[in-house]
Amino acid sequence: MTLTLPARRKFELQAKLKSLRSEIQGWVTRTESDPLRRHHSQVRRIDATLNGLLDSMEKSQQWTQPSDEIVLAKASAWEIRILLAHSIWEVFRSKLGLRSEKFFGDKLAAWDDLAWACYEPALKHFSNSPKEPPLVYLRSTWSPFLRSRDSAFQTEIVAGLDAGDALNDPDYQSTISRLPIPLLGLPRFQVAHLASALLIGHEIGHLVEFDFGLTTTITRAISAAALDFDTDWRSWSSEVFADLYGCLCFGHYFAGALIDLLVAEKNLITTQQPGSGKYPPRALRVEVVASALEDLQLNAQATAVRKSWRDVYGPLHTPSGYADDIPKLVQAIYGQQGMNLAAILRPPSANISAVAQQAAQNRRAELTAQTDARVLFCAARHIYENYSPQDLEGASDLLIEQVVRGYANQFRYRGERVKTKEELEQRLPTLLEQDFASGQALEKELNPESV
């Protein structure tokens, strides 16, 4: 029997929807086994949200038993909704797919584990609400950056000719912001330079601020510190908080990675003054992280950080008066009278130099005892700063292998390791119900009359 034009149109839409379901189900299955188990709960939660987004359309009588007139009237709205779901999924599918490439697979798994290790302490402390640690991916940026759940993803979307209006619509951005997984973009060159990966700590600091609604708390803590340059510090509060969070993740190894990033020609460094931007002057940022190390009782390391900078630029050119504010600023974030952030996260206490030596000397059997991603990445940084570039090159694969091995064969629940799928299934239902409800709310917000 020859299909009518409306029947063909409906069949086409069903095929597009079926292809989305099939692809996501394929990823659900793939993430049930190594090496992708880390991402099983993430895929399940995206799926639940998209199911909620499509729910009222799929259950409506207009969709299940449409007349020709209904198909002609609703086909365009249905297609936009289906393509919207496809496009949301594509944002994540392309990142997950990169993990299937041999060159990137283990490296991205290690970066995921590092990001989750930095995020989990704050997740446990600040939030009982459903959150997921970030999904790391690679892009051509010069430094790491985070797209939080409150950020637009428009540059991540390649709009089709017929879907451009939907993808550029503010409602689409509202949908993206509600999804439970942020994305953490890293420069592609970082897969070849393990020592710079510690900048992840700064980006996780941004994520912690946004995910747990800490912006007002941070600003109030800074205001309560009675700083001489209160207005400037509050304007820089997000970046200062992220730097201080990075120091808690990795101690002086983060400071080393940060000052590498801040390198610029001498005249800029020595003449830079506070301005209207979101960052403090570079020399001021160096003094902030050095003061943070002192607050953490890492005085020798603070001295070494300052010396590394001064050996190139001379004495730290901190604008007059600002240096006196810095210890009070650090206490506002770390101290008991402030946010008390140092009570929930501290730099690794392991003997990093010993781990670094094991890796540099290829003492694989001894290294297997260490499974903490933060320790292993700090060891990479230690080799970089204290050994030769060739030593780091030789140790990088071994360190990445050990990070991945330490976190392998386990599922995740909000970043926490879960050994069996059965245990995960006991924990997930509440989150999946919330994600489904979020998708339903988004559908109504987008266009309640579309179905």
Least confidently predicted of 94-98, 205-209, 248-252, 443-447 = 443-447
Q: Is 384 a domain residue?
A: no
Q: Is 360 a domain residue?
A: no
The count of domains in the chain is: 2
User: Which DSSP letter does residue 296 get?
Assistant: T
Q: Where is the domain boundary, 338, 366, 400?
A: 338
pLDDT per position as a tens digit, 369-421: 898 999 999 999 999 999 998 899 889 999 999 999 888 778 888 878 888 99
Same domain, 29 and 96: yes
Q: Which domain holds residue 92?
A: 5-195+409-446
Same domain, 245 and 155: no
Instruction: Return the closest-CA partner of residue 121 out of 252, 293, 249.
Output: 249
Q: Is 377 a domain residue?
A: no
Q: For all residues of the chain together, what is the average pLDDT?
A: 86
Q: Is 332 a domain residue?
A: yes
Instruction: Read off the pLDDT of each residue in 12-36 and give the average, rounded to a whole number.
Output: 93
pLDDT at position 160:
36
pLDDT per position as a tens digit, 56-105: 999 999 999 999 999 999 999 899 889 889 988 988 998 899 888 888 88
Same domain, 329 and 237: yes
Q: Where is the domain boundary, 311, 338, 365?
A: 338
pLDDT cut 70: percent of the chain above it = 89
Instruction: Read off the pLDDT of each residue in 345-363 and give the average, rounded to a whole number.
Output: 96
β strands within 295-440, DSSP E: 411-413, 416-418
Sheet holding 183-187, edge to edge: 135-139, 183-187, 145-147
Instruction: Return the closest-CA partner of residue 248 out of 194, 213, 195, 288.
Output: 288
pLDDT at position 222:
96
Same domain, 179 and 225: no
Q: Is 295 a domain residue?
A: yes
pLDDT at position 158:
39
Same domain, 288 and 420: no
Q: Is 102 a domain residue?
A: yes
Same domain, 140 and 265: no
Same domain, 329 and 440: no
- Rounded distance, CA 342 to CA 205, Å? 13
Same domain, 179 and 241: no
Token pair for 31:
């993430």
pLDDT above 80 (res 153): no
Same domain, 221 and 185: no
Same domain, 30 and 178: yes
pTM: 0.86
pLDDT at position 316:
76
User: Which DSSP letter does residue 162 get?
Assistant: T
Same domain, 122 and 237: no
Same domain, 314 and 417: no
214: helix, strand or coil:
coil
Q: Where is the domain boundary, 286, 314, 338?
A: 338
Q: Is 362 a domain residue?
A: no
Q: Is 279 a domain residue?
A: yes
